[in-house]
Amino acid sequence: MKRLFAITVLLAATIVQAQELNFWQKVNNLLTTFPNIDSTYIYQPKQGFTLGMFSTVQQAGFDTKAKFNIHYDDGTKAAGISSYSLVEQPSTKLGLELGYGKFVLGYGIEVGPKRAYKKRALGLNLLGKAWGLHCNYFRVSNTFQSSIKIGNPGDEHYMDDQILSTTPALLKYLSIDGYYVFNNNKFAYPAAYKAGLVQRKTAGSWIVTGRYMQGLLSNAPDPTVIYDYYNLLDYFSTLQFSIGGGYSANFVCWHKDPIQIRDKGLRNLTINLTLLPVITVVNYMDIIKYEFTDNDEYYGSYSSKTFCYPMPNFIGNSAISLTLDRFFISAQFTYDWFYFHSSQAINHDYFLFSPDLENLILRGAFHNWNFKLLFTYKF
């Protein structure tokens, strides 16, 4: 009986170990295998670990304008416009990227003159020739500008004022992108952005894409400084989901196949251009207004939630890459523009203004551009 028990335990352990090995084999295949490649157009180096150093220059921001009419107690009306802008100064980061096959994890820190009070940035990529995912997160706390203009010069209630904050506001941004490439047997979309695939001949493809984006801008309650005359944007958040597609092309300027193992003699120069217009089909917005007592004590807030209209938006990428043996050098530029627009942004059942605001239309955008220089070594 003891011998039978020992054999049973050993057999069970062997099965579990085989299942674990099979699981990790599947994971490894997912990260390193690029099936159905037309070798006339695409060269696949041996997949393994990569270590990259990068430098980026980035500028992210949030801009909005609120147009409205004011109905005063004396019966007069005036048109007004209030703008609100938080844009970081171009910031420079240095960082490292660690990759294995399709998977790349990068983290950067700001260097040089500090352009923000607090700054974090994290990137996560899983880039394949047929499909891929890209996650980008950053947060920045910086000063902002607010302005308001009501009526025309000479009017009784005319106002024209601009304010530059003395305390920072917080801007957060999270985006998750996914893509699918139709002509993926001849076109390697990641070829100009990461080491792993090399485009041998010029090719392109239609691409479908989807993006989840979440943005937030908030001020700490502060009764001593009125950033917005009607406190329309004490706290603002948006959640968007977009779908769309476009075209991407790799232009091969120079290619030489490797002459030995370990990619010795490999030479390649490729330029990528990608344009991806999208439609934001889900565009949810939440605005919070802080309230204070007569003694300037914060006692609560009011919230107004609404779904905005579907809006056209834009994602654009471009890159130029140079491959020399196991070295990969890439210069990349990305630009994102995500817009929102609503005539029901302020719920007057919760936001009690005096004088009353009428016909309020709120529109604005989160925007972000990034230039990246990447140097990678393939082990």
- Give the pLDDT score at 9: 47
Kindly report, residue by residue over 292-347, the tens digit of the pLDDT.
Answer: 666 656 556 666 677 777 888 888 899 999 999 989 999 999 988 888 777 665 55
Kindly report, residue by residue over 7-66, the tens digit of the pLDDT.
Answer: 454 544 444 444 555 766 766 666 666 777 888 999 888 878 889 999 888 888 888 887
Top pLDDT among 8 and 376 is at 376
SS (H, E, C) the chain: CHHHHHHHHHHHHHHHHHHHHHHHHHHHHHHHCCCCCCCCCEECCCCCEEEEEEEEEEEEEEEEEEEEEEECCCCCEEEEEEEEEEECCCEEEEEEEEEECCEEEEEEEEECCCCCCEEEEEEEEEECCCEEEEEEEEEEEECCEEEEEECCCCCCCCEEEEEECCCCEEEEEEEEEEEEECCCCCCCHHHHCCCCCEECCCEEEEEEEEEEEEEEEECCCCCCCCCCCCCCCCEEEEEEEEEEEEEEEEEEEEEECCCCCCCCCCEEEEEEEEEEEEEEEEEEEEEEEEEECCCCCEEEEEEEEEECCCEEEEEEEEEEEEEECCEEEEEEEEEEEEEEEECCCCCCCCCCCCCEEEEEEEEEEEEEEEEEEEEEEEC
Kindly report, residue by residue over 79-102, the tens digit of the pLDDT.
Answer: 888 787 777 777 788 888 888 877
